[in-house]
Amino acid sequence: MVGHRCSVCGLVAFPPDPYGCQNCGASEDALEEVELEAAGSLRAMATVHRHHQDHPATPFTVGIIELVDGPVIKAIVQGEEASVGSRVEGKLVPTEITDNGTQLVDLYFQVVK
């Protein structure tokens, strides 16, 4: 995962923001690209039973994940044993193949034991 770090205040953010730091307002020139580990802990979760699109199929679980490198993100969480505090790791999951043959993927997080 690629995020950015502000050289003025040190905030690590994901996804990268091309406009500048959301914390201190420093310009985009103050942001450096950083690689983030796709792992963290589950802060909160909710199961979705009705959804306006075909993908992902319901029911699915959405989690608020605090990454080990700092940022907090929202993502789909897999694993029946998911609970607040669970350790999770990111994985790329194939979703569909476009008309031109490109394989699309989503980033999901899996509970690790």
Residue 99 domain boundaries: 39-111
pLDDT at 32: 96
Same domain, 50 and 72: yes
Q: Residue 68 belongs to a domain with what CATH number?
A: 2.40.50
Q: Checking DSSP bridges between strand 72-78 and strand 103-111, what pairing results, if any?
A: parallel
Report how many domains make up the chain.
2
pLDDT at 37: 96
- 108 and 1 Cβ atoms separated by less than 8 Å: no
For the residues 95-106, what does the mean pLDDT come to? 90
For 98, residues 6+ apart whose C-beta sits below 8 A from its C-beta are 104
Is residue 51 over pLDDT 90? no
Same domain, 17 and 62: no
pTM of the model: 0.83
Condensed to tens digits (0 to 9), the pLDDT of residues 58-98 reads 999 999 999 999 999 999 999 888 999 999 999 998 988 89
Same domain, 72 and 19: no
Same domain, 44 and 83: yes
Q: Which amino acid is located at 105 in the chain?
A: V
Is residue 56 over pLDDT 90? no
Token pair of 11 as six digits: 């905030």
15-20: long-range contacts, CB 8 A cutoff, minimum separation 24: none
